[in-house]
Structure 1
């Protein structure tokens, strides 16, 4: 996706990679280290453990097969949509999630720019659902691959032909669809929460087709000072502990 951004960029970056990528990638590394230290078992490992101990809905009823895998995938997909929606609606969660939105541009590294506390809470949320469902390990593995791949795809600063974008977004979230969510206009920010399937935003009426100012004219990020601060690692890590501003500022 990084190569695609270089070859087929959708927008000229207003901040640029050199001032953003060191911080974004540092956050990624920190997230990975913390998750592995605190949760040495992965989501797939939890699914295997639940299966071996007959835990969860599917295991309790002995349900197996590809239909169960599809059902588990859909539930987990909706769970991530709901988690994202809640991160914008619950002030405590927004404190952490605003680190993601403070980025002054949207590209493939923005997909991985999440505060470590949010990553840890996300792991707990997904882990509880995996065990409660008794989700098949294979379904969890596919879901985790799609979760990461789709996030990098729909955050990428790439151009898709409009006819292809129009067809794809009937099923999955495209870069143009998700970029609306990173708009500095809060009406647009409160939309397009999906990371993979686009059905949830259409179903719950949180879908906006295009930004009001167009993709080339829209402003991305939060306030100017927060966008500038987001380029610094210490500032980004401390942001959830600063006084919470009104989201309209």
Structure 2
């Protein structure tokens, strides 16, 4: 238990740094769209929000999601503890169920006006790149942590499964918000396995019916299953307008 609690921040920070640097370099070498706002101050804004979010979570949830899993395990809580399963299958089930929970949470944050007021901070970004995938209101991050903690306790998810999920969610969020170019054929195949930038970019369109589609961050199946999948933006990926109609003043990024 002590080993996981000590190593969890190091594992997550290492994965975050590696994926962030890779995506930032990819965006420089093969951007999908021209940036409409200067990146300097915009990146400072978005990364500053990340630091605030991380600090808030560590103050309110010192042990974070992995600590919740360890606590639930020590108490013997969780539905999955009632059945015998191979450990690898238990981990896989937990990762998939947690991903569905985050998808459902995302839909909820769009559907409930009070929650949308928090979540629209993510959509107010006037460009779409790796830092957009990190830009969330601190209260939304806290609410998300409460939801994840509840799912972890109900499932009795192993700490390893939670750590795997957290690393995957963070990495895929940066990937599918990347301003990167993928071969069209490769993208068509890849989006059956993971949410791609071409798929998620539609979600950041200023057209409301497109904003309310493609909610997935990690696994792409839920949108197809529940009818919220949209293949392409109506204005095309290079012609579409990113953001929401309410906030269009780019001066805050200059």
Q: TM-score, normalised by structure 1?
A: 0.90
Maintained 8 Å contact 1:102/1:227: no
Offset from partner CA, 1:201-235 (integer Å, 9 cap, x none): 00001011111110000000012644537639xxx
Matches for 1:1-249 after TM superposition, within 5 Å: 1-61=23-83, 63=85, 65-223=87-245, 225-228=247-250, 231=253
Match of 1:211, SS state, is coil
Maintained 8 Å contact 1:183/1:221: yes
Maintained 8 Å contact 2:213/2:228: yes
Q: Structure 1 CA distance, aligned partners of 2:114 and 2:233?
A: 27
Match of 1:149, SS state, is helix
Match of 1:93, SS state, is helix
Q: Structure 2 CA distance, aligned partners of 1:224 and 1:12?
A: 22
The alpha-carbon distance between structure 1 residues 76 and 148, as it changes in their structure 2 partners (threshold 3 A), is same
Of the structure 1 ranges 178-187 and 47-56, higher mean CA displacement relative to structure 2 is found in 47-56
Maintained 8 Å contact 1:54/1:60: no
TM superposition shift of 1:99? 0.2
Q: Structure 2 CA distance, aligned partners of 1:230 and 1:168?
A: 36
Q: Structure 2 CA distance, aligned partners of 1:190 and 1:107?
A: 19
Q: Structure 2 CA distance, aligned partners of 1:134 and 1:67?
A: 14
Offset from partner CA, 1:137-179 (integer Å, 9 cap, x none): 1111110000000000000000000011000001110001000
Unpaired segments ≥5 residues, structure 2: 1-22
TM superposition shift of 1:136? 1.1
Aligned residues: 232
TM superposition shift of 1:66? 1.3
Q: Structure 2 CA distance, aligned partners of 1:230 and 1:85?
A: 28
Q: Structure 1 CA distance, aligned partners of 2:62 and 2:78?
A: 21
* Superposition RMSD in Å: 1.5
Match of 1:14, SS state, is coil
